[in-house]
Structure 1
Amino acid sequence: MASSPPIIFVTSIFLISTLAFAQEVKPHNDTSPYEKAPFACDVDANPEFAKFTFCDQKKPIDERVADLVTRMTLKEKIGYIKSSSKEVERLGIPYYRWWSEALHGVSTTGNGSEFNSARNISGATSFPMPINMAASFNVSLFYAIARAVANEARAMYNVGQAGLTFWSPNINIFRDPRWGRGMETPGEDTLLTSVFGVAYIKGLQQPDDNNPEKLKVAGCCKHLTAYDLDGWKGYSRFTFNSVVSKQDLEETFNPPFKSCVMEGQGASIMCSYNKINGTPACADPDLLKGLVRGQWKLNGYIVSDCNAVQFLYNRHDYAKTRIEAVAMSVNAGLDLDCDHESYVGKFAHSAVNAGLLKVPEIDRAVTNNMKTLMRLGFFDGNPRKGIYGKLGPKDVCTPATEELARETARQGIVLLKNIRETLPLNPTNIKSMAVIGPNGNATRAMIGNYEGIPCSYISPLQGLSASVKTTFVRGCNVTCEEPILDEAKKAAAAADATVLVVGGSTDIEDEFVDREEISLPGEQEKLISEVSKVSKGPVILVVFSGGSMDVGFANTDNNIKGILWAGYPGQHGGVAIADVIFGRYNPSGRLPVTWYPREYTQYSMARMHMRPNKTSGFPGRTYKFYTGPTVYPFGHGLSYTTFDHQIVSAPKVVKLNSGKKGNPKSVDASGRACKKSTFEIRVRVKNTGKMAGGRPILLYSTPPPVHNPPQKMLVAFDKVFLKPQEQAVVKFRVNMCKDMSVVDEQGNRKVAVGNYKLQVAKLNHTLEVRR
């Protein structure tokens, strides 16, 4: 993929007053563990630590870890393979909480991080949700956000308010629009999700160039694998059996995790609750030891989703006893048990005594865990004396990180509809505006789930009212059982323009909360239609959601001039929405998911197959396989300017050095054919309009009809920012085996022989692949 453009920041030309914290801080019941004990190997606090090899920073990490593990008793080792790890006082190892989250900023979820206004840091930058980040199609932005989050995380660690291990990002494929956690992901496309995961992991971890073993914080890619159902019509993620073909596993579900480990060098993988073809993920040695540790060569630890080990016994009925559940998971390759009841802590010793679990397996697990902490500097003494020691409260919620949050929200907004170029609105021509809808003055709803305490909030109402006199009518709450129409219609009839801010919140889509419908919640559609009939001026619809919403009725309503998808745009989403509506920012986002019509919900969410089935009438999933009508397709997104695309150069033929044996229709993508299968495509992009703007350039391939392939697949993408009449050439280096291979029915990657259709915008190019 071509290198990413620099992040372009657009600063609002008006001042916005910030909102004081509207959330209550969630304090932990006990004192911070980081205040109770000295830092590991703090020789200034205790010179005795200097005698330990594991405290000698000049020694190789593997030697230090081996020394540490040999000094620990079995009881002490077991205490450090559970997520609330017990202190080892005689060795000066403090208590440690592994579970922190950093999905889109340091989070209150988990017990490893805490905000406390009575101490040092009471909030952190709350960026837009990953689904918004992905809509920017800007890799440099993904990386910059993760770097900013890592800085704030380290600052919090230095003052005793966070750990160093963060269980983010979520790189599951957003397979079905009803999934409540889809907002946490980069969307439905395997390439986009993989690229996002690698960039985010690298931004969090930031290995030292001089010593790549050193990490700033440790990321974790989750949830492995085929996990994208929480609670739908009697199905539960805790017991769900994902029946998945080898083809779909290799083609759709596993690639982001493989990229996370092999390209991103992620320090951790989390195994999921569900079964995969009958075997729980956290008890599957072929998955954990064979694939993750063996083939992908994970340099780090494997952690269970929280309580997944005990669920082997009391939910899946896979283990006959609690002791067997612990033995199964550790023997399968699990290193760390996230468990509120600490199954490993309670039953691992009994598993050893029963002969079900060998001590070397525990040694392996604690070694992987301690090595990760060693790479993070946990055993280097006082962190304030380390390479990140200067980070502190002054480095959290800085003007730069808050502007980065606003810019991310701007780049993630997608313009879905714009009749007769009604948008952008000119604030000098509009003297009054009606802001209507359940999310019109949203604060908490803007930041989605796995949230922290934001630095501040700027709601849509605040953002819009900074430029135009506004009247706000909520109309109804998000679930919208009974909209109050009279007041809303009166406001719209009197205003020069109406902005309806509707859609979802964590009330209708969240962890544990899958949707059964993908239309707007409750009577929101009625509220919108009734208001649009009487509005004096143009009506603009702004939709909050993680998954797709069927707004087809609004797309065909001529009274609704523009539609924006805002996702869950973070703490300052109101600024971004106002900047787009008033033309201070030219929207450049594209949908990272297909928007299906509401009839799609007739098909079972529990069906894991990706491809359509003519016999049952199932139309398939995601843009790669879905054959039905769409409200908006994957990659859709309008701009206030126009762009011209031209393929400058692309090969017509690519010859694979594969010999003459084997299947004449495809060749092995891992063989010698891959050594000389890279080529370059150049695309010239020109801004032919009158407004500067960004443009994601998406390169698709339609492969030959071999092995029942996708009907279309994203091969590469990049983003350019161009002034009016400016042009640029985007270069894509494409490897046939890595980027354009398909997966056969046995789960093997193949390069199909024949004609491929390459597509950029409306341009098509035929590429012939020969043996």
Structure 2
Amino acid sequence: MSKVVTVSFLIIICITCIEIGSDAQPQPITGIKKTPFTYICDPARFESIKVKLSDFPYCDAKLPYPERAKDLVERMTLPEKVQQMGDLAYGVPRLGLPLYEWWSEALHGVSFIGRRTNSPPGTHFDSEVPGATSFPTVILTTASFNESLWKKIGQTVSTEARAMYNLGNAGLTFWSPNINVVRDPRWGRVLETPGEDPYVVGRYAINYVRGLQDVEGVEYHRDSDSRPLKISACCKHYAAYDLDNWEGNDRFHFDSRVTEQDMQETFILPFEMCVNEGDVSSVMCSYNRVNGIPTCADPKLLNQTIRGDWNFHGYIVSDCDSIQTIVESHKFLNDTKEDAVARVLKAGLDLDCGDYYTNFTMGAVQQGKIAEADIDTSLRFLYIVLMRLGYFDGSPQYKNLGKNNICNPQHIELAAEAARQGIVLLKNDNGALPLNTGNIKTLALVGPHANATKAMIGNYEGTPCRYTSPMDGFYAYSKVINYAPGCADIVCQNNSMIPAAIDAAKNADATVIVAGLDLSVEAEGKDRVDLLLPGFQTELINKVADAAKGPVTLVIMSAGAVDINFAKNNPKIKSILWVGYPGEEGGRAIADVIFGKYNPGGRLPITWYEANYVKIPYTSMPLRPVNNFPGRTYKFFDGPVVYPFGYGLSYTQFKYKVASSPKSVDIKLDKDQQCRDINYTVGTNKPPCAAVLIDDVKCKDYKFTFQIEVENMGKMDGSEVVMVYSKPPGIAGTHIKQVIGYERVFIAAGQSAKVAFTMNACKSLKIVDNAANSLLASGAHTILVGEGVGGVSFPLQLNLNH
């Protein structure tokens, strides 16, 4: 039997209830009409829907959120409960509970991704809100290595999201950011991520999540279940997820065979940081299996680790249709639909992005596979988050946000600044850049991205406020531009357009070639098969450079690494920039850098491998060298590269000096504390106490502080990213080095600055052994500051004393 109920809420909508416990699907939703939503427990709202507010303790603001959530859930019938467990929660009209769409995205700006066909609008754009600020994709923002910028972008995105919520154009729960480590350069989703270093990825997660979630004045609270939220963020995709679709292997079937050592050291570290230090309110489990078990069905990964070990306060959600994937793709234990629902619910999955919970949870209860109490637990987690968001009681501090807080000049300028800070200068022979506007009467602008617009904003995008293409940006500096794309598109499958590009360069005072990749080559669901530029792009670049009258600058727009050794070694190509996917203001940022209005200071957040790196099967998961395969990421790969992790040049020169440094860190051990044996490399003297478990050390008591003096030796103001690594003593099977800190500092020409670092010894000097023990190893560690020949270092002796 069906019954139609009309509900007043973010939209006015007709929802058709269904009989559950069968294969029946919720009926399409029609009659959508937007109306701004205030908050659930608004007395006027209850009066309008003819429900008595005083009958419901869940609306009593004097009670703690857990008590209120418990009251709300206990008032529901079982059929009503299961209707709230999908991303489209149908609400309970008789209790005054409206329908809610949980799925929205805000990866690098408020996105239109997440709205299902025929569902009520989650986040969407219309004539009233035509767009939102589109920042650079995450990989380029991370290249700034500026944590205050990461957080400020998060704060700006959440302000626009709140404004859109007030206008009826958004929800409050956003499934961002993506914090998977980039293990392999072929991964199609590199653009969404903060790169290959797990510590940097974790720091990005903390800062962006804090920017999205924190309410000023209550950033920290003794009880996380009471801490208010601006919007709700979600760290995803947990865990060991970094393959989409490569040579017949896809994420819906892939089993990530991962050592516990790599799990602890790399794959789950950013998530632990996101929960413990970012206090994120949601975590999303991934499609893949880990060592045979689907992540969304693994109680060790969910209940034991996230909720237990990390003391998580929030809800765990599946990647969309993951439960269906368990049944139909993984065919895990030959589970029925009810088996799968019961398995993931008991493992700790609270919300299904999909309709398996909605359609099959009732049947799982009726078949005795789960208890109603299991459902109640998850629903309470969900409603506590919504209460923290002010969804039930309102958020007075945000009620005045509106259209003026979306796409305003300050936000657009921040998008341009983020792009400028992330751009990486890879080559600059003889100071070819910046170009002097007085010497450039005619500029040749060629390449398939020379007039890019939508390509600049990548995926998980929204509708941007506007586009400033590279051509738009360069018109601010040169009134005469010879434009020739050279290729019909990025895949560049024929070379018929190259002659026109050659002609454009022959008659110009300088040439800028804008080439690279786009979502047709690297994207969700599409991994790369090589590390080369597509089609005839290499031929285009070489022929244009050979014919050019003036200096040639190559601009690479991409997320993943590209083997451009041909351009690096070509003396006709004087300079190279990597610009990621730079967002809606990308063209302005590129032009500002090339013409010297901005001095580039970005650093690569991933290693740029040579093309032959792809001889290692993408499906080989170990980070360390194994089976004659090279290691992965800068931490374990020591072969030749095109450009290393952390690489980036400037228009000025910086000189480093160690201003002060400690000689040792002395760890005091209890008399009965056990020393651990570890394997040292040949020629390394083994100390009497080689290592101890970090869990046995009072880590907060052991810190070391040092200062680095950085001097700008050139004639141009600029920003320098001071990157700090630790290198362990000669221990077999551990990392070559690892990032332990960084600071972006602005230094005027001819000036110097002292940059101070205080490090926790347990975090900065930690190694993880092959049994997944986190250890402090005694001996001569080395602290490395800076990159290559310009860097400095000092020894740091770690002593373990009983």
C-alpha contact (below 8 Å) 1:669/1:749 kept by paired residues = yes
Residue from 82, 87, 111 that aligns with 1:83: 87
Give, as a single letter, the amino acid of the residue that structure 2 aligns with 1:702. K
Q: Provide closer, same or farther for how the CA distance between residues 69 and 208 of structure 1 changes in structure 2, counting only shifts above 3 A.
A: farther
Q: Provide closer, same or farther for how the CA distance between residues 398 and 368 of structure 1 changes in structure 2, counting only shifts above 3 A.
A: same
Where does the alignment leave 5 or more consecutive residues of structure 2 unmatched? 1-27, 116-120, 222-226, 677-688
2:420 and 2:230 map into 1 onto residues whose CA distance is 28
Q: Provide closer, same or farther for how the CA distance between residues 34 and 709 of structure 1 changes in structure 2, counting only shifts above 3 A.
A: farther
Match of 1:634 in 2: 645
Give, as a single letter, the amino acid of the residue that structure 1 aligns with 2:492. C
1:610 deviation in Å? 0.3
For the residue of structure 1 that corresponds to 2:642, the secondary structure is coil
Match of 1:480 in 2: 492
1:589 deviation in Å? 0.1
Match of 2:794 in 1: 765
For the residue of structure 2 that corresponds to 1:45, the secondary structure is helix
1:677 deviation in Å? 1.6
TM normalised by structure 2 equals 0.90
1:117 deviation in Å? 3.2
Where does the alignment leave 5 or more consecutive residues of structure 1 unmatched? 1-27
**1:216-271 CA distances to partner (integer Å, 9 max, x unpaired)?**
10000000000000000110001100000011000010110001101000000000
Which aligned pairs between 1:355-370 and structure 2 lie closer than 5 A? 355-370=368-383
Over aligned residues, Cα RMSD in angstroms? Answer: 1.5
The reply on whether 1:554 has 2:562 as its aligned counterpart is no
1:707 and 1:560 map into 2 onto residues whose CA distance is 42
Q: Provide closer, same or farther for how the CA distance between residues 30 and 395 of structure 1 changes in structure 2, counting only shifts above 3 A.
A: farther
**1:494-553 CA distances to partner (integer Å, 9 max, x unpaired)?**
000100000001110000010001111111001000111110000000001111000000
The reply on whether 1:583 has 2:596 as its aligned counterpart is yes
**1:549-586 CA distances to partner (integer Å, 9 max, x unpaired)?**
00000000000000000000000100000000000000
C-alpha contact (below 8 Å) 1:707/1:745 kept by paired residues = no
2:713 and 2:94 map into 1 onto residues whose CA distance is 70
2:144 and 2:32 map into 1 onto residues whose CA distance is 38
Give, as a single letter, the amino acid of the residue that structure 1 aligns with 2:69. V
Residue from 378, 381, 395 that aligns with 2:405: 395
The reply on whether 1:623 has 2:634 as its aligned counterpart is yes
1:738 and 1:262 map into 2 onto residues whose CA distance is 14
Which aligned pairs between 1:273-284 and structure 2 lie closer than 5 A? 273-284=287-298
1:191 and 1:701 map into 2 onto residues whose CA distance is 12
Residue from 514, 517, 520 that aligns with 1:507: 520
1:704 and 1:577 map into 2 onto residues whose CA distance is 42
Match of 2:463 in 1: 453
**1:48-67 CA distances to partner (integer Å, 9 max, x unpaired)?**
22442211223221221122
Residue from 542, 545, 548 that aligns with 1:535: 548
Match of 1:414 in 2: 424
C-alpha contact (below 8 Å) 1:54/1:63 kept by paired residues = yes
Give, as a single letter, the amino acid of the residue that structure 2 aligns with 1:626. F
Match of 1:13 in 2: none
Match of 1:123 in 2: 131
The reply on whether 1:347 has 2:341 as its aligned counterpart is no
Match of 1:525 in 2: 538
Give, as a single letter, the amino acid of the residue that structure 2 aligns with 1:59. L
Match of 2:5 in 1: none
Match of 2:713 in 1: 688
Q: Provide closer, same or farther for how the CA distance between residues 76 and 29 of structure 1 changes in structure 2, counting only shifts above 3 A.
A: closer
Give, as a single letter, the amino acid of the residue that structure 2 aligns with 1:628. G
Give, as a single letter, the amino acid of the residue that structure 1 aligns with 2:535. G
1:54 and 1:239 map into 2 onto residues whose CA distance is 42
The reply on whether 1:144 has 2:152 as its aligned counterpart is yes
1:113 deviation in Å? 3.6
2:629 and 2:579 map into 1 onto residues whose CA distance is 30
Give, as a single letter, the amino acid of the residue that structure 2 aligns with 1:374. M
1:208 deviation in Å? 4.7
Number of residues of Structure 1 aligned to a counterpart in Structure 2: 736
For the residue of structure 1 that corresponds to 2:522, the secondary structure is coil
**1:576-616 CA distances to partner (integer Å, 9 max, x unpaired)?**
00000000000000000000000011110111100013xx3
1:281 deviation in Å? 0.1
2:760 and 2:33 map into 1 onto residues whose CA distance is 49
Residue from 191, 205, 209 that aligns with 1:201: 209
The reply on whether 1:718 has 2:743 as its aligned counterpart is yes
For the residue of structure 2 that corresponds to 1:222, the secondary structure is strand
**1:14-48 CA distances to partner (integer Å, 9 max, x unpaired)?**
xxxxxxxxxxxxxx985658649874212122242
2:732 and 2:301 map into 1 onto residues whose CA distance is 25
The reply on whether 1:644 has 2:652 as its aligned counterpart is no
Q: Provide closer, same or farther for how the CA distance between residues 346 and 117 of structure 1 changes in structure 2, counting only shifts above 3 A.
A: closer
**Mean Cα deviation higher: 428-437 or 680-689:** 680-689
1:123 and 1:75 map into 2 onto residues whose CA distance is 38
Match of 1:58 in 2: 62
Residue from 103, 123, 139 that aligns with 2:107: 103
Q: Which has the higher contact order (CA 8 A, sep 6+)?
A: 1
Q: Provide closer, same or farther for how the CA distance between residues 552 and 155 of structure 1 changes in structure 2, counting only shifts above 3 A.
A: same
1:763 deviation in Å? 0.7
Q: Provide closer, same or farther for how the CA distance between residues 38 and 496 of structure 1 changes in structure 2, counting only shifts above 3 A.
A: closer
Give, as a single letter, the amino acid of the residue that structure 2 aligns with 1:456. R
Q: Provide closer, same or farther for how the CA distance between residues 100 and 33 of structure 1 changes in structure 2, counting only shifts above 3 A.
A: farther
Give, as a single letter, the amino acid of the residue that structure 1 aligns with 2:182. F
Match of 1:565 in 2: 578
For the residue of structure 1 that corresponds to 2:734, the secondary structure is coil
2:653 and 2:29 map into 1 onto residues whose CA distance is 56
1:365 and 1:76 map into 2 onto residues whose CA distance is 14
Residue from 606, 612, 622 that aligns with 1:593: 606
The reply on whether 1:377 has 2:390 as its aligned counterpart is yes
1:673 deviation in Å? 4.8
Which aligned pairs between 1:630-709 and structure 2 lie closer than 5 A? 630-659=641-670, 661-663=674-676, 664-706=689-731, 708-709=733-734
1:584 and 1:30 map into 2 onto residues whose CA distance is 52
Give, as a single letter, the amino acid of the residue that structure 1 aligns with 2:516. G
1:658 deviation in Å? 2.3
TM normalised by structure 1 equals 0.94
Residue from 482, 494, 497 that aligns with 2:510: 497
Which aligned pairs between 1:149-228 and structure 2 lie closer than 5 A? 149-210=157-218, 212=221, 213-228=227-242
